[in-house]
Structure 1
Amino acid sequence: MFVRRSRRAVLCFVVLLAALPSVRAGSRTIARCGEGFLEDVDGYRVLHVKGTPYQMGFQQGTLLREDIRENVRYLFDVKGKELKVEVAGLNLLNPRRVIGGIAARQKKYVPERFFEEMQGVADGAGLPVQEVIDANFIPELFHCSGFALGRSTTKDGRVYHGRVLDYGCDWRLQEHAILTVAEPEGRTPFVNVTYAGFVGSVTGMNAEKVSIGEMGGKGLGHWDGVPMSFLMRMVLEDAKSLDDAVAIFRDNPRTCEYYFVVADGETGKAVGMEASWDAFTLIAMGESHPKLPEPIADAVVLSAGDRYVELAKRVKEGRGGFDADSARKLMDRPVAMKSNLHNVLFETDTGRFWVANAAKDGSPAAEQPYHAFDLRSLLSNRPDASAPALEAPRRAARAAEREPAEVR
């Protein structure tokens, strides 16, 4: 099943369309830490991390220390007290305890390098590592929807992957929005549209021209597998093709009920994918499904209720003439919900992309301006040597000199 009935949704889409000229914004280095640095690109904070998992985490923790600490505080001390987590019909009033239990249960399925990275984040930010781990497992409690369009819908045949994320603007994640450009040692560089303190991904693209977004369903309680956000991170680090990405989901134990859209800029192909704890199904471009009553040639359209109807209508009306401007308009309300946290349009075949975030007052991302980026240019950026080199808290500095401690 590729469409869920819940009102809370993440709307994602892959659009294979025509390109706009890239806008290369000026940049200013804010601070440095080891091989990592934080820069301002046309008013958007871009975090560069490089090296081993621990080094990348430590760079993030140090450069985004105050953001991470405030993000974790608000998530658990404010929103956490308001949140009721329903599992197996029971309302659990202590979500942090629930999340900690989920993290402990899933530890054996998660590659150790991600725990090393979270240890680095904790050491750099001066936080207990368990607080960082708990925050990173929050996405396991939230679930969502999406769509894909093919080359025949475009002017020039560019590969576009659009993504509408709806997680709820009242969590204030948009106040800590970060674009992370990562160069993991021995793995594929990638960009992660994310938030301070997180190492997993829900929206990203790598240098091998593979982009991915997630959608969720139900299935809470089925947590014996690799968390969704870490599976996506594995795709960004390791997938060199659409087939590689599919194999990562197919060959690893999975959790809950999740759906994904993956695009391959090299081949121009994309798939919708159910990768739940007990099911694995692919839907190719142009294929129909009982829950998708309006199949569109050379397209996969995955959404829910009236949003699906409106999205299908927009795609049919614009077929053959889409460019990046009109592709972004596909993400306008009501396809995007009021709780629209971020919108992203990837031009997966070139590495260019556009990002919009919800406003601080909670206005949805679809109503905000987009920032233009180019992954290749971001990867070539180097910090200004005159920018401040940050020192981590004394406790964290000592930790950086030793091997990461085992995460319990």
Structure 2
Amino acid sequence: MLNQSRLYYCLIGLFLFTQTSSCHRVNAIKNVGAFCANDTSKGDPNLNPIDQSEPKLINKVQNGTLYQIGSGDDQIYLIHVYGNSGYDFGYAYGTLLRDEVNKVIPRAWQYFEQQIIDSLKSLKLPKWFEDIIADKGLAFALDLQNELVREYIDEEIYNEMHGVADGAQIDFKTVVRLHMLGEITRGRCSLYGLWGNATLGGKTLQLRALDWDVDAGLQDYPVVTIYHPGTSKLGHPFANVAWAGYIGTLTGMSSQRLGISEIGVSYPDDTFGDESMSGLPFIFVERYILQYSDTIDDALSFIADVKRTCHLILGVADGNLGTARMIQYSHSKVNFFDDQNLQPLADWHPRIPNAIYSGMDWLCPSRQFKLYTAITEQYGQITPESSIKNITAYVKTGDLHVGVYDLTDNVMYVANARGTNEQGPLEAYKRQFVKVDLNIEFARQR
């Protein structure tokens, strides 16, 4: 009989030989589903005042300082990590957030494991990978997936995950598995990039609204991590918005005034290429852009050259150059769009000068048109505050968390879903936003 190690490599060889896979839900859906076809309802404005209170110091260790921002039920951990290695970052992070990591990771893992197993047939995963989950369990399957992507991931990322595990005194493999989940459990999301005549004062603004599962408990421990590299090999300072124990990037800004947004595509068309489970996971593609790219051109070049995996829509905006791009992203194809050639071009997704945008998916008429309407109704007067009040709330996007970036002034606004035993509305887009002045946070000394 094959032992598990040998089985890994036999299966990897089979995968690389066949190259027939999709890295998460849906392989080739041709028709728009009910979710995207029918929701035309509009949300009420978000009238909550934006919290602008000063960070409150909680604790500090070597290479790390922990603060709390926000108030009441909308508090967020703000953690600063410093160092000359990924392990320095991770160990400080894990030490300062030990209790939170040990609460959220086991709960989230148990939830996602059960959800994936229960809905396995509907995920449209490659048959061979589905069989591995069914026969060997999700943990074994994600360990295999980690072997498929290991060669593409910077070793400092693994060093950081080791540091998190050691600092928090939690199993390293569990931390790694959590970071593999994004490749098979993508969420519906929305994004925009606005500049020039689209905004008040010509600012460069960006939206990242994450519509993902609010039942896993991730929002109980929201974290904004500010990275302060002590050496050029670790890039430049950047801010990552996530939850305790998660170092991949779904939402964030860099000290180079670059912002990142992402949408998982469940309803592609035939302009997308194929998918693969072998490549750099998209959460680390996004993180690389924030950590190492100096301009939007650097980011687009990296996306063009990297070994990509899944069907996605990415958004990158540059506050220094005052522009943004939307990227149609798959394993075998990549296309870059500005306001002049934005796709898909349809009566439910018209082009807007000085804007790129996508609501919830690629082929998603009602959600796309709602976002178009929300942008055009206040075109030329859009600010972060008006976006929070009248765009995300109107479109009803950003269940789990929302980030609105002012890339001109280097300020970020963040909201999270209601946590366990908290009060108020569930969805992040309905809740109070917290202002994070990154001019201050990137300059904050150890």
Q: TM-score range by the shorter chain?
A: 0.7 to 0.9
Cα separation, 2, equivalents of 1:27 and 1:311: 33
Q: Does 1:68 align with 2:101?
A: yes
- Select the residue among 353, 359, 365 that pairs with 1:297: 353
Change (3 A) 1:349 1:105: same
The aligned runs of 1:313-332 (5 Å cut-off) are 313-332=373-392
Cα separation, 2, equivalents of 1:77 and 1:164: 25
Where does residue 375 of structure 1 map in the other structure?
438
Aligned residue pairs, count: 369
Cα separation, 1, equivalents of 2:346 and 2:285: 26
Local SS of the residue matching 1:224:
coil
User: What percentage of aligned pairs have identical amino acids?
Assistant: 24
Cα separation, 2, equivalents of 1:201 and 1:6: 28
Cα separation, 2, equivalents of 1:34 and 1:5: 52
State the Cα deviation string for residues 262-321 of structure 1 (Å, max 9, x = none): 000001110000221111100112324345441122222222221111111122221122
Larger deviation, residues 101-110 vs 70-79 = 70-79
Where does residue 173 of structure 2 map in the other structure?
130
Q: Does 1:153 align with 2:198?
A: yes
TM-score by length of 1: 0.84
Where does residue 95 of structure 1 map in the other structure?
138
- Flag the structure with more relative contact order, 1 or 2, with Cα contacts below 8 A and sequence separation at least 6: 1
Bigger fraction of residues in helix: 2
Where does residue 271 of structure 1 map in the other structure?
325
- Select the residue among 61, 65, 82 that pairs with 1:37: 65
Larger deviation, residues 154-163 vs 264-273 = 154-163
Where does residue 17 of structure 1 map in the other structure?
none
Cα separation, 2, equivalents of 1:7 and 1:69: 38
Deviation at 1:221, TM superposition (A): 6.6
Cα separation, 1, equivalents of 2:154 and 2:33: 31
Q: State whether residues 342 and 358 of structure 1, in contact with CA within 8 Å, keep that contact through their aligned partners in structure 2.
A: yes
Q: Does 1:240 align with 2:294?
A: yes
Deviation at 1:96, TM superposition (A): 2.8
State the Cα deviation string for residues 69-114 of structure 1 (Å, max 9, x = none): 2222112223412323431354744333322221121101111110
Bigger fraction of residues in strand: 1
Local SS of the residue matching 1:340:
coil
Cα separation, 2, equivalents of 1:246 and 1:374: 26
Q: What RMSD in Å do the two structures reach over aligned CA positions?
A: 2.5
Deviation at 1:5, TM superposition (A): 4.8
Q: State whether residues 286 and 300 of structure 1, in contact with CA within 8 Å, keep that contact through their aligned partners in structure 2.
A: no
Q: State whether residues 8 and 166 of structure 1, in contact with CA within 8 Å, keep that contact through their aligned partners in structure 2.
A: no
Larger deviation, residues 173-182 vs 148-157 = 148-157
Q: State whether residues 149 and 280 of structure 2, in contact with CA within 8 Å, keep that contact through their aligned partners in structure 1.
A: yes
Residue identity in the other structure for 2:215: D
Cα separation, 2, equivalents of 1:341 and 1:23: 18
Q: State whether residues 339 and 351 of structure 2, in contact with CA within 8 Å, keep that contact through their aligned partners in structure 1.
A: no
Residue identity in the other structure for 2:198: T
Where does residue 203 of structure 1 map in the other structure?
251
TM-score by length of 2: 0.77
Unaligned runs of 5+ in 2: 1-27, 37-49, 267-272
Where does residue 44 of structure 2 map in the other structure?
none
Residue identity in the other structure for 1:289: Q
Residue identity in the other structure for 2:334: F
Deviation at 1:334, TM superposition (A): 5.4
Deviation at 1:208, TM superposition (A): 0.6
Change (3 A) 1:205 1:4: farther
Q: State whether residues 292 and 301 of structure 1, in contact with CA within 8 Å, keep that contact through their aligned partners in structure 2.
A: no
Cα separation, 1, equivalents of 2:334 and 2:342: 16
Residue identity in the other structure for 1:112: E
Q: Does 1:57 align with 2:57?
A: no
Larger deviation, residues 287-296 vs 104-113 = 287-296
State the Cα deviation string for residues 51-74 of structure 1 (Å, max 9, x = none): 121000001111111111222211
Cα separation, 2, equivalents of 1:202 and 1:4: 27
Where does residue 263 of structure 2 map in the other structure?
215
Q: State whether residues 150 and 285 of structure 1, in contact with CA within 8 Å, keep that contact through their aligned partners in structure 2.
A: no
